[in-house]
Amino acid sequence: MPNKNEFDVIVIGGGITGAGTARDCAMRGLRVLLIERHDIATGATGRNHGLLHSGARYAVKDSESAEECIRENKILRRIAANCVEDTGGLFITLPEDEESGYGLDYQAKFLEACNKAGIEARAISPREAIEMEPSVNPSLIGAVVVPDGSVDPFRLCSANVTDAVLHGAKVLVYTEFLDFIREGDTILGVKVLDTRSGQTAEYRAAVTVNAAGIWGHGVAAKAGVNIGMYPAKGALLVFGHRVNNVVINRCRKSADGDILVPGDSVTVIGTTSTKVPFEECDHMEVTPEEVKLLLREGCALCPSLASTRILRAYAGVRPLVADDSDPTGRSISRGIVCLDHEARDGVKGFVSITGGKLMTYRLMAELATDAVCRKLGVNKSCTTAQTPLPGSMDGRIENVSKRFEGKPTAGQKGAAGRQGDMVGKILFETEADKQLVCECENVTLAEIKYAVRELGVSNLEDLRRRTRVGMGTCQGTLCIGKAAKALAEALGKPELAGKLAADYLDERWKGMRAVGWGDTLREMEFMQRVYKYQKPFSYDEV
């Protein structure tokens, strides 16, 4: 009988790269363990603007990344249809760009670079651009259409984890990597801490993959090797409704606040780029100055942002690999870095996969899994580019009514949009199951039960990442009490409802402090009066 603590490969990091690597390894028949110190998608994966890159952003300065992006763009539209929205994209030129050297001459250069990289791009007139996206700055003097889109990173990461498990992988969340098990120059496994129980454990494997994003720098250091990583903080803002339906980019060299991405019920503007110390990567805060900068630049793309409510601010850290020559990280390639530490550093049984971006996660996973298979002597090819993810097996669900008896409710439609063809596992057995818990995002009691039963949810932050509970206009003000009760009962621990709500609200308020004026300030004050100033906190009082 095989040892339950022994695997072929251990993957450190439950972001999209680690999830994709676990999926690829499992699909090739390997025994896989994926460990993540928090929940999945809690690092850079869940802290970006959700752009389905066409590659156009990199076409002029980084053709290799541009070509990777457009290839993976086409693949994701096939295998992850339920996670992707085909919004289309615009790169616009404004009058002031002529003065800075990024006018219509640059647009022509940009268009040529896109076509050279295999990106279908075409110039259109300002009038056509306004017809395509009415919210765009009407003073634009030029525009290029590109095949951008939006992607839900939480949904995409969850689908990869689900498929890895379906192919036999073991996934441990809230499991922190402590150190390597090592014998001479060979990595034999890992020592971990279950952060919920406080118990430690050891797991062994022939190969360990470091897919920990920016934290991969510290993981590698535990093995005695160095990865020259550059922690580039990016701040973003979420607006209270979907301002634009087409991705709007500024047609110029990458800069702060030059992209506006619609996704689900909101719009996100990104992003800044600032180098931060490694010790700050776990505690990212957005400053008022960054908020003002993003809002100013965003209004140049879409003037109506000046009067649009901001829901919250958040920030992530890009796992770039480079030296310190660029203080912003803007000029650093977003290329993929796959390191075989035996060949590079003399450390056997250890591989690192880093760099890249959300858009190229599948390719990164393929390269990492190829390296693992070479070490294990396994001759199996990658099939992740051809195999749809769970939820996307039937493509995007266009006719939800076929999945439910009678006319589908708003909650059933919402569940189908989020869970895709997995919606059949959501059991609407009673009228109560159909009731909306989160009205902003149309999340039902049935979907919450499903998330606990099938998706490993144990707290409201986990639930948010799987269902979008609390991510809508009210930011949880009117639903978190109900959601906490529903989740606690689904977990079989009704007494936890108050703590679940309090923990969730503590996280929600963090992202509102930097944008505390106008409607956002009023919302924050109202939320705090509803919850914070009730002492002691009791779910029954909510």
25 assigned to some structural domain: yes
pLDDT value for 536: 46
Residue 483 CA to residue 445 CA, distance in Å, equals 8
446 & 537 share domain:
yes
User: What is the mean predicted confidence (pLDDT) over 45-63?
Assistant: 93
Do residue 177 and residue 247 come from a single domain?
no
DSSP 47: S
Flag whether 393 is in a domain. no
Of residues 397 and 280, more confidence is placed in 280
- Rounded average pLDDT over 265-278: 91
Q: Are 104 and 55 in contact (CB under 8 A)?
A: no
CB of 428 closer than 8 Å to CB of 404: yes
Q: Tell me the per-residue pLDDT of 411-464, one tens digit each, with 9 for 90 and over.
A: 988 898 888 888 889 999 899 999 999 999 999 999 999 999 999 899 999 999
At 315 the pLDDT is 94
Average pLDDT value for residue range 374-383? 97
- Whole-number Å distance between alpha carbons of 83 and 368: 23
**Number of domains, the chain:** 3
> Of 396 and 73, which is predicted with more confidence?
73
Q: Same domain, yes or no, for 219 and 237?
A: no
Residue 269's alpha-carbon distances to 249, 291, 312, in angstroms, are: 10, 10, 11
Residue 270 lies in a domain: yes
The arithmetic mean of pLDDT across residues 162-176, rounded, is 97
Q: Considering 289, 318, 347, which residue would you say is the last residue of a domain?
A: 318
Task: Tell me the pLDDT band of 403, cut-offs 50, 70 and 90.
Answer: low
384 inside domain:
no
Question: pLDDT at residue 494 above 60?
Answer: yes
State the residue range of the domain holding 33.
Answer: 6-44+154-228+335-376
Mark whether 243 and 101 lie in a shared domain.
yes
Q: Is residue 180 part of a domain?
A: yes
Judge if 238 and 366 occupy the same domain: no
CA–CA gap between residue 331 and residue 318 (Å, rounded): 13
Contact 500, 459 (CB under 8 A): yes
Task: Work out the mean pLDDT of the chain and round it to a whole number.
Answer: 91
CATH code for position 222: 3.50.50.60
Q: pLDDT confidence of 330, banded at 50, 70, 90?
A: very low
Q: Per-residue pLDDT for 69 more than 70?
A: yes
- In the chain, the percentage of residues whose pLDDT exceeds 90 is 75
Contact 275, 329 (CB under 8 A): yes
Residues 188 and 302 in one domain: no
Q: For 220-264, write each residue's pLDDT tens digit.
A: 999 999 998 889 999 999 999 999 999 999 999 888 999 999 998
Classify 504 as helix, strand or coil: helix
For residues 57 and 51, give the distance between their C-alpha atoms in angstroms, rounded to a whole number: 11
User: Does pLDDT of 395 surpass 80?
Assistant: no
Boundary (domain end) residue, out of 285, 318, 351:
318
- For residues 254 and 241, state if they share a domain: yes
Say if CB 18 and CB 26 are below 8 A apart.
no
Assigned domain for 49 exists: no
Domain-embedded: residue 78: no
Residues 173 and 188 occupy one common structural domain:
yes
| 140 and 159 belong to one structural domain | no
Determine, yes or no, domain membership for 327: no
Reported as type and span, the H/E element at residue 97 is: helix 95-99
**Residues 159, 16 share a domain:** yes
Whether 281 and 345 map to the same domain: the answer is no
Question: Residues 359, 451: one domain?
Answer: no
Residue 508 pLDDT > 70: yes
Please state, in angstroms and rounded to a whole number, the distance separating the CA atoms of residues 17 and 363: 9
CATH of the domain at 266: 3.30.9.10
